[in-house]
Structure 1
Amino acid sequence: MTMESATDAAPLRTQTVAVKSSFYLAMRILEPARRDAMYAIYAFCRAVDDIADDEGDRAQRREALDQWRYDLDELYAGRIRPRSAFLAGPVRRFGLDRADFEAIIDGMAMDVEEDICAPDWEKLELYCDRVASAVGRLSVRAFGLVDDGAKELPTAPKLLAYHLGRALQLTNILRDLDEDAARGRLYLPREALEEAGVSNHAPHAVLANPALDQVCAPVMSRAREHFEQADLVMAGLSKNAVKAPYLMAAGYRSILDGLTARGFAPPRAPVRMSRRKLVGALLRHAFL
């Protein structure tokens, strides 16, 4: 199979995966080729994330990620393997950078190598760049913020990927504390724990600590700063090209607002994206 003959059916298969995403509405409003590219990017992320979150043997999970690296080797050499065929069209049409796919795998490998627990800010930054901002760097090409075929990302799209990726990932970390703890993981930064006087960094011990709100505060603050910076970048870009990231930001900011209102003391009721705020953002964007 070559780049030119890769699958016509791929968009349908990837949409089935993407419909489960919190970002489905934001992807759905894109024009067809860009929408299908976003479905493909999400499907890739879902596939490697499922490997990282599997509770099986670490060596087998590492091997599974390495198989995706091999598939990328083949894909970018023009030899399309069936499993990765859904990426061929978007890679060719929008010049998606292999290094960003590799970075995403590297981020998932961090979870495979160990159950991350209380990383320092530097390690957390690296993790966020790999699992979130790298996705953003692929996405800004699909959104239409980069000339098709351009090798380098212009400054503004690169900054949008940097800030919005981190804002979304930090929000995820705060939202998913209990789910991550069940896997033995804790992504809250070590410095925040120490500043709050929390000495036991075991995930469930941290989540039961009365100082948890204090631990989460700098993470929430940093997430808001990234949302604000992303807003500033989007304000200077084409309104049509930022309609998807605009909705992504609005939806996830509503989660962050919900977490702020709820706090982190147990029991922690789940916080979900506000449909009202998401629809309101969609309507506001339609009249910009």
Structure 2
Amino acid sequence: MEGLTHASAPVQAAYSYCEAVTGAQARNFAYGIRLLPIDKRQAMSALYAFSRRVDDIGDGTLAPEAKFARLEETRALLGRIRAEEIDEDDTDPVAVALTHAARRFPIPLGGLDELIDGVLMDVRGETYETWDDLKTYCRCVAGAIGRLSLGVFGTVNGSGLAAADAERAGEYADTLGLALQLTNILRDVREDAGNGRTYLPAEDLAKFGCSDGFRSERMPAGADFAGLVHHEVRRARALFAEGYRLLPMLDRRSGACVAAMAGIYRRLLDRIEREPEAVLRGRVSLPPHEKAYVAVRGLSGFDARTVSRQNTRRRA
């Protein structure tokens, strides 16, 4: 492998592949990482491309036994990446890019093991009785990504934070990941139901008369779907408020990246709150021009200041 400052042509090609995957498969994520300097943007793309591979196995059409095998093969590949056994001539561009990124930045690659654990929960068809149960899943598939990203942003090892503050930064990144994942779950309730998956806690579904699930655009008589959505939206907003405490701990461009990605999801949450039944008709999303606007606001620091003021008013 090349040194930490300059990447060889094969490594650059591997990063380019990962950036193409990110741009095609994760438009919300791609809008945020555009705000990062090139080395951090490349590292985040490598993390995304590996994570996408894990998710695609879980969401694919293979039989469960085959998915288990593929996920364990991917875990073994992660072990080779961690041990720096992948060289630049390897035929797997994601492995090449991630190996190089892990040399550039102190990325806690164990977070990707947690992601694999979370996808294994999907393959096993696990459901969640309480919010605490669902949090365990969300921490695997999203909180871990927040902590992985923190290794690229540089807060823990690069900004002079005290050990206690560095630990809190990891907790805030984890919490912000939970907020994003809960927003995803609300957005995708119909699609997930079609795939035989229900993520929202069973006790919440029962409380609002929604235990029969979301396979139809019409909920059964007596179901308070809007009440369920508003309940989960309040939970997500509290998570966003806590997670946004990470922003002052980041440098300006890393903070802008996080503010942009979180801002897109917060606006998505606003739309879901205004019209809960829309998620039963199809995927709710933001148009590209609105995502670009949120990214610009993130770069200016406006979103972070706005959330800080909102949190202050709520506490008052």
TM-score by length of 2: 0.81
Match of 1:89 in 2: 100
The one-letter code sitting in structure 2 at the alignment partner of 1:176 is D
CA–CA distance in structure 1, aligned partners of residues 218 and 180 of structure 2:
21
Match of 1:38 in 2: 44
Deviation at 1:261, TM superposition (A): 1.3
SS of 2:12's partner is: coil
User: What whole-Å deviation, never above 9, does each CA across 1:189-220 have from its counterpart, x for those lacking one?
Assistant: 111112223443x5527972332222223221
CA–CA distance in structure 2, aligned partners of residues 283 and 266 of structure 1:
27
287 and 50 in structure 1: CA distance in 2 versus 1, 3 angstrom threshold: closer
User: What whole-Å deviation, never above 9, does each CA across 1:155-188 have from its counterpart, x for those lacking one?
Assistant: 2421331221011000000001111111001111
Match of 1:15 in 2: 19
Which one has the bigger helix percentage? 2
Aligned counterpart for 2:157 among listed residues 122, 147, 163? 147
User: What whole-Å deviation, never above 9, does each CA across 1:67-102 have from its counterpart, x for those lacking one?
Assistant: 011111212222116432221111111121121110
Match of 1:59 in 2: 65
- Same amino acid, percent of matched pairs: 31
| Structure 2, gaps ≥5 residues long | 302-316
Mapping of 1:1-288 within 5 angstroms? 7-20=11-24, 21=26, 22-80=28-86, 82-83=91-92, 84-114=95-125, 116-147=126-157, 154-200=166-212, 202-204=213-215, 208-209=219-220, 210-235=223-248, 237-264=250-277, 268-288=281-301
The one-letter code sitting in structure 1 at the alignment partner of 2:253 is N
The one-letter code sitting in structure 2 at the alignment partner of 1:190 is A
User: What whole-Å deviation, never above 9, does each CA across 1:39-87 have from its counterpart, x for those lacking one?
Assistant: 0011011100000001221010010000011111212222116432221
166 and 93 in structure 1: CA distance in 2 versus 1, 3 angstrom threshold: same
Q: Is the 8 A contact 1:184 1:203 kept in 2?
A: no
Q: Which moved more, 1:231-240 or 1:46-55?
A: 231-240
User: May I ask how many residue pairs the two structures share in their alignment?
Assistant: 284
73 and 177 in structure 1: CA distance in 2 versus 1, 3 angstrom threshold: same
User: What whole-Å deviation, never above 9, does each CA across 1:93-134 have from its counterpart, x for those lacking one?
Assistant: 1121121110011011111112x4454322210110000010
Deviation at 1:7, TM superposition (A): 2.6
Q: Is the 8 A contact 2:230 2:273 kept in 1?
A: no
Q: Which moved more, 1:126-135 or 1:85-94?
A: 85-94
Q: Is the 8 A contact 2:35 2:299 kept in 1?
A: no
SS of 2:215's partner is: helix
44 and 207 in structure 1: CA distance in 2 versus 1, 3 angstrom threshold: farther
TM-score by length of 1: 0.89
The one-letter code sitting in structure 1 at the alignment partner of 2:270 is D
CA–CA distance in structure 2, aligned partners of residues 121 and 3 of structure 1:
45
| Structure 1, gaps ≥5 residues long | none
186 and 199 in structure 1: CA distance in 2 versus 1, 3 angstrom threshold: closer
Q: Which moved more, 1:65-74 or 1:153-162?
A: 153-162
The one-letter code sitting in structure 1 at the alignment partner of 2:277 is F
RMSD, aligned α-carbons: 2.6
